Amino acid sequence: MECGGNTGLVEQTATGCGSYQADSTDGGDGLTWSCVFSVSVLGLAQLVTVTQDERFLIVKQGDSVKLHCSYTGSGFYSMLWYQEKEEQGLKLMVLSGDTKPGDMEDGFREWTLDRPNMQSSSLSLQQVKAQHSAVYFCAVSEHSKK
Per residue in 39-68, pLDDT (tens digit) is: 344 444 467 888 877 767 788 999 999 999
> Can you tell me the distance from the alpha carbon of 70 to that of 125, in angstroms, rounded to the nearest whole number?
18
Please state the pTM of the whole predicted model.
Answer: 0.67
Half-sphere exposure of 102 (CA within 13 A, CB side): 30
Q: How far apart are CA 56 and CA 60, in angstroms?
A: 13
What is the predicted pLDDT for the residue at 48?
Answer: 82
The pLDDT tens digits of the residues spanning 97-117 come to 877 767 899 999 999 999 999
The domains of the chain, with CATH numbers, are 19-141 (2.60.40.10)
% of the chain with per-residue pLDDT over 90 = 34
How many angstroms separate the CA atoms of 24 and 6, rounded? 21
